[in-house]
Amino acid sequence: MSTKEPFCLRWGIMATGKIAYTFVKDLLTNTETRGTLDVCHIVAAVSSASSSEKTQAFINSLNLSCTGYNSYDQLVADSNVDAIYIATPHSHHFQHVMMALQADKHVLCEKPVTVNAHQARILCEEAKKRNLFLMEAMWTRYLPLSIEVLETIRQGRIGEVLRVTADTSFGDEVEKTWGTEHRMLNKNLAGGALLDLGIYSLTWVFQCLYHTLPESQRQPPCMVSAQMTLNYLTGADEATSILVTFPTTTPDNIPEWKSQAIATTNLRVSTDPDGRGTSGPAIRIQGTKGEIQVDGPSFRPERYRVIQCRNENNPTEEHVREYEHHIPDGHRGMYWEADEVARCVRDGKLFSDTLPWNEMIVIMELMDEARRQGGLVYPKSIEDTHY
Ligand SMILES: NC(=O)C1=CN([C@@H]2O[C@H](COP(=O)(O)OP(=O)(O)OC[C@H]3O[C@@H](n4cnc5c(N)ncnc54)[C@H](OP(=O)(O)O)[C@@H]3O)[C@@H](O)[C@H]2O)C=CC1
Ligand SMILES: O=C1OC[C@@H](O)[C@H](O)[C@H]1O
């Protein structure tokens, strides 16, 4: 056992909404319970921009002992804070990340990192210029289950992956559940299914068909075809389906072998309508020798199976293996991404290898293209790159 003291990252929490609460609750769990001994987390400061009462209520609800502010400017200026976790709506990410970077703070920003790829590129340039760490909080990538699935692909256990389907759909009565003002459907807050949920479907597509390749072989999609259903009240997308083709370099270098993926998201129909996982996997990763099926929800999966092709070459009876990674009740599993941030800051890294800036930007570009094809235009003020 190492006797070295763990590196403790001091967090500043920007916003006190739903996910900020969940993230901090995860952050406060004992790191040793997940086998993390090299890093730890301190919540040093919290700020709501709405009122000091809201900040205080957040601090009380989580029994925190930290500084409270009622302005994000004060939060990012706090010299006891190393990294800012940004949990504001999509529309505000560009401004808030820039605010934190310009105050010389490392940043973990909720997904999607920005409204468009142009904004994301500018933020990466700013982080690079200032030698600061920046990461989109795509927490699903850091779950042990995701890491294991990717390793299974890399080991070649399902052969060459030629098709991935990934769905992240809710099955809500949209008008009642979200209404027109909530960030889910409000275009002024860059709402819509794609940026909120479809990004998870795309995350799985990219994890399997892009990230598992050696860096020098990763290529952006060569074809993207997208359709959207826009909500009749707000114009934000309530359903989006994207067909993506990746140019694959096969072991034999056969250029015709392309991989296809279908990424879907829908607010009105559900991936798992009875909530019991009886509707089949949310993600299917299909290779020439077999398939990996991941049960939903795509953003917080706990179970997957590896199915080997059964034929005359492989007549085995034991061709299906199930794996489970239970996330303790009352937690979301966001501490894995927080551990990654702490390690990267400790090691002086600017980005996480699990979600490099380049990949984050390629995904933003794909979502830009899907919105262009689907006719989803956000207000100029939130697509802007002026800070
Ligand atoms: N990783 C995950 O699993 C999840 C991630 N998310 C992501 O987290 C972000 C926030 O979502 P969520 O917490 O559900 O949203 P909430 O609406 O619950 O919270 C957003 C908070 O942002 C602050 N805020 C600042 N400016 C505005 C504004 N103009 N309008 C509204 N709120 C504002 C407010 O905090 P205050 O008043 O304290 O300043 C508000 O409470 C989004 O990017 C979303 O995609 C959301 C859910 C799950
Ligand atoms: O990121 C998210 O994941 C879980 C969903 O419940 C939430 O709406 C979304 O923002």
Cα–Cα distance for residue pair 137/96, rounded to 1 Å: 14
Ligand 1 atom closest to the Cα of residue 72 is 39
Cα–Cα distance for residue pair 182/286, rounded to 1 Å: 37
Cβ–ligand 2 distance for 170 under 6 Å, the answer: no
| Structure tokens given for 222 | 């060569």
- The answer on pLDDT for 289 being more than 70 is yes
- The answer on pLDDT for 222 being more than 60 is yes
At residue 177's C-alpha, the angle toward residues 199 and 47, to 5°, is 65
Cβ–ligand 2 distance for 299 under 6 Å, the answer: yes
pLDDT digits over 328-381, tens only?
999 999 999 999 999 999 999 999 999 999 999 999 999 999 999 999 999 999
Q: What percent of the chain has pLDDT over 90?
A: 91
**All residues at 6 or more sequence positions from 256 whose CB lies less than 8 Å from its CB, including other chains:** none
Report how far apart, in Å, the C-alpha atoms of 123 and of each of 91, 131, 354, 359 are. Answer: 14, 12, 18, 14
Cβ–ligand 1 distance for 247 under 6 Å, the answer: no
Q: What value of ipTM does the predicted structure carry? A: 0.99
The three-state secondary structure class of 337 is: helix
Which residue carries 């002992």 as its tokens? 65
Cβ–ligand 1 distance for 196 under 6 Å, the answer: yes
Question: Minimum-distance ligand to the CA of 198?
Answer: 2
The chain-wide mean pLDDT, for the chain, equals: 95
- Output Rg (C-alpha) for the chain, integer angstroms: 21
Q: What is the pLDDT of residue 311?
A: 77
Distance of CA 284 from the midpoint of ligand 2 (Å):
21
Distance of CA 224 from the midpoint of ligand 2 (Å):
24
Q: What is the pLDDT of residue 269?
A: 97
Cα–Cα distance for residue pair 278/275, rounded to 1 Å: 8
pLDDT digits over 245-257, tens only?
998 766 566 666 6
Distance of CA 86 from the midpoint of ligand 2 (Å):
15
Domains annotated on the chain, with CATH: 7-140+334-351 (3.40.50.720), 144-326 (3.30.360.10)
Ligand 1, pocket-test mutation among 16, 18, 180, 195, most atoms within 8 A of CB: 18
| Cβ atoms of 149 and 140 closer than 8 Å | no
Q: What is the pLDDT of residue 249?
A: 60
Q: What is the pLDDT of residue 107?
A: 99
Average pLDDT over residues 3-10: 92
Question: Which amino acid makes up residue 252?
Answer: D
